[in-house]
Amino acid sequence: MRAKVAGEQERRFSAQDGVSLFYRDWPGPATGGGVPLLCLSGLSRNSRDFSRLAELQSRRRRVVALDYRGRGRSEWPADWRSYKPRTYLNDIGHLLAVAGLGRVCVLGTSLGGFLAMGLGITQPISLAGAILNDAGPGIAGGSIERVLAHVGRDSPQPDLESATAHLKATLGRIGFREEATWRRFAEATYRPGDDGLWHVDWDTRIVEPMKRRSEPLDLWALWRGLSEIPTLALRGGNSDLLSAEAFRSMGEGHACLTRLEVEGLGHTPSLEEPEVLDAMEVFLAELDRREGCAPAA
């Protein structure tokens, strides 16, 4: 299984309703350092998706990554009705307090990007910047249904090799460039069960509130919550979730937006791509300068 990154600490806290939530904390340099990075994963994903990024960024800043309720090593709530954005935002607010995080840059993949937009409305003072990984106000038609179909069922596999092959067969449109990336993706998707099979590492009930939602969210209103916050928006060039038209329109009325389309990838880029890492380096360095952060010793 996954090896811990140097300096990584595993922590827990209790949500308002008593659910035990898990997060990974890379403290960063002993002195100095940039704006802390709060990593929020996709709908069914968990903190393991950010391990390689944390290994790079924790040399210069603190990095914290949350397992949402019902994912990874966080507890599954008894009531699936708590799987909703308002609860997730409340959990994140508790994490900011428990972890002693002041102003942060939120890096959000897919669902995490939408939650970053929500934080721009509910906790704008805490948000120094945002990096949205294939998330934005325009969702392509039919994409949500495909996501719910994938996330709403378990797909047990006999071993990690089979799990990797299964993901490539079912989610090949993501288009990861390296075989090693697919394997790490599988490692963060599955966990070995007591029956000897590998099972998805989330509660498949997380999709139930989304299935029952009668009115769609006004994503453009949500996006406007970041209008004054420095933002880096990433889009997979072949994304079937964030539409190309919406991505082009996101700059209208936004004070400080940088966009990068990642050629050949779908939903979502892995955050390991060289052009993505370069763009984040430039964005975070400018954010550190804006916030008056001293460079790490």
CA dist 51 and 48 (Å) reads 5
221 CB-near residues (< 8 Å, 6+ apart): none
Least confident of 103-112, 136-145, 174-183, 216-225: 136-145
Architecture of domain 9-143+218-291: 3-Layer(aba) Sandwich (3.40)
Distance (Å) of CA 7 to CA 37, 65, 145, 226: 15, 14, 39, 32
Take residue 245 and report the two structure tokens written for it: 């038209």
At 220-252, the pLDDT tens digits run 999 999 999 999 999 999 999 999 999 999 999
At 265-293, the pLDDT tens digits run 999 999 999 999 999 999 999 999 999 98
The 10 Å Cβ neighbour count of residue 18 is: 9
Q: Give yes or no for a contact between 188 and 45, defined as CB atoms under 8 angstroms apart.
A: yes
> What is the domain partition of the chain in residue ranges?
9-143+218-291
Q: How large is the average pLDDT for residues 99-105? A: 96
CA dist 135 and 239 (Å) reads 10
Run of H or E residues at 190: strand 190-192
116 CB-near residues (< 8 Å, 6+ apart): 40, 106, 107, 108, 127, 130, 131, 132, 135, 226
